[in-house]
Structure 1
Amino acid sequence: MPRRFSSFLDKSAMTLSGLCLVHCLVGALALTMFAAGGAWLNHDVHLVGLAVALPLAAVALWRGVALHGRIGVALLGVLGIGLMGTSLFIAHGASAEVLVSVAGVALLGAAHYWNLRASRV
């Protein structure tokens, strides 16, 4: 896989992480304000997001580690995905769910950023 494709994967994953972060924060605010948020705020969106994030992260981070050899990048990504998965088992809209989701997305986004930077060496 060329470096350009790896860069595209990391940038796509960071964009997805940003969209997830917006969903988490805006969703929590909307749930607080309106008590019911519609399909966009449904808990199933987390499962879909995780189903998209997992293979994208696996390919992008695996490829990056193969290029630069920094296993910490992959470990940070695994921790982020793990937290995102953990949030599926917390009541939707609960403060803990928002915190765990945001932490997971932030860590995964940071892993992709670190991966992108390390791959440009």
Structure 2
Amino acid sequence: MSDAMISTAIDRIKQEVAENDVVLFMKGTPNFPQCGFSGQVAKILGFLEVPYKGVNVLEDGEIREGVKQYANWPTIPQLYIKGEFVGGCDIIREMFESGELIDQLKSAGVPVKDPRKA
């Protein structure tokens, strides 16, 4: 893939991250994940009732490669909160289990269901 194509993809990634409070670059869609790792993160966000935008990297090879360079992170899924790269599946799962993910979403002003207060 040419540098120009990657550069264009990175511009589009920057726009998605800037325009949406929570963005998940994933394989598949939130309702139909096409990889177990993407499915796990989508399930966590769904459980917490977090409004987010899912970007299906399988539909766009430029985005799929560009997002890896954008975050300097080699794998997908990738979660961004208020423009900040948070991590991939393992990190998100650990943050969810510890409560750190809920706290980060709350501190970013993102609506989230907190099951600790149920």
Q: TM-score, normalised by structure 1?
A: 0.34
Greater RCO, CA 8 A, separation 6+: 1
Name the structure where helix makes up a greater proportion of residues: 1
Name the structure where strand makes up a greater proportion of residues: 2
Q: TM-score, normalised by structure 2?
A: 0.35
**Higher Cα Rg: structure 1 or 2?**
1
